[in-house]
Amino acid sequence: MRHQHADSREFVHRIDAQDRICFVNDAWLAFATENAWSDGAPAVLGSPLMSHIADAQTRHIYRLLIDRVRDTGHPLLFRYRCDSPELRRFMEMRMSAGPAGEIEFRSRVLRLEGRDPIPVLDTTQPRHSGNPLQICSWCKAIYAQATWLNLEEAVHKLDVLSDAVLPELTHGICPACSDQMLRVGGAP
């Protein structure tokens, strides 16, 4: 495991009172470009935040978190992963209330760990739609064989790299992360 220095940038985006993305900073744009997300600022500004969140479970958790920040005015802080094929990115997000119902999302990398590339995370690789793999939006665990496995273990056990075309990834949230995020969001 190769440890690397944390990225000192802060990735900031904001939503307005109608949950539309109204601001992204230069670091956010650079991070999106570095990770082959081609939409960039012109396409994202004015769009609903929830249209960029792939699954219903994660949208639900974000809805609870956003409502909590708006209702209480208190910031929330939580950790998550945002991996690339060759990096484990351990990150932290702070959500805080702004003027006129805005919410600011401020993320930063706490720690980076290098690893041998995991092609299943490479968004440029060809995919087949049969038997998609579900990945946790927060910790990057994979749901396989009726349990949640860490990413590297799942890739090894499932031998997903033996196929010429990789499985699609669908996003969700594992029970441990769901419980943690519901506690952060103040849900029962």
* SS3 assignment for 105-155: EEEEEEEEEECCCCHHHCCCCCEEEEEEEEEECCCCCEEECCEEECHHHHH
8 A C-beta contact, residue 13 and residue 107: no
8 A C-beta contact, residue 100 and residue 94: no
Confidence of residue 188 (pLDDT cuts 50, 70, 90): very low
Question: pLDDT digits over 85-97, tens only?
Answer: 899 999 999 999 9
- Residues 179, 107, single domain; the answer is yes
> With pLDDT > 70 as the criterion, what percentage of the chain qualifies?
88
Q: How many domains does the chain have?
A: 2
**pLDDT of the residue at 101:** 96
- Residues 8, 88, single domain; the answer is yes
- Residues 61, 125, single domain; the answer is no
Predicted confidence (pLDDT) at residue 11 exceeds the cutoff of 90: yes
- Residues 60, 76, single domain; the answer is yes
- Residues 8, 94, single domain; the answer is yes
- Residues 41, 123, single domain; the answer is no
* CATH number, domain containing residue 107: 3.30.450.20
- Residues 123, 104, single domain; the answer is no
**pLDDT of the residue at 41:** 60
Predicted confidence (pLDDT) at residue 2 exceeds the cutoff of 80: no
Confidence of residue 149 (pLDDT cuts 50, 70, 90): confident
Average pLDDT over residues 59-70: 94
Question: pLDDT digits over 99-127, tens only?
Answer: 999 999 999 999 999 988 888 787 777 77
Domain membership of residue 87 as a residue range: 2-117+175-185
Question: pLDDT digits over 40-61, tens only?
Answer: 566 789 999 999 888 898 899 9
Question: pLDDT digits over 15-42, tens only?
Answer: 999 999 999 999 998 888 887 776 556 6
**pLDDT of the residue at 150:** 87
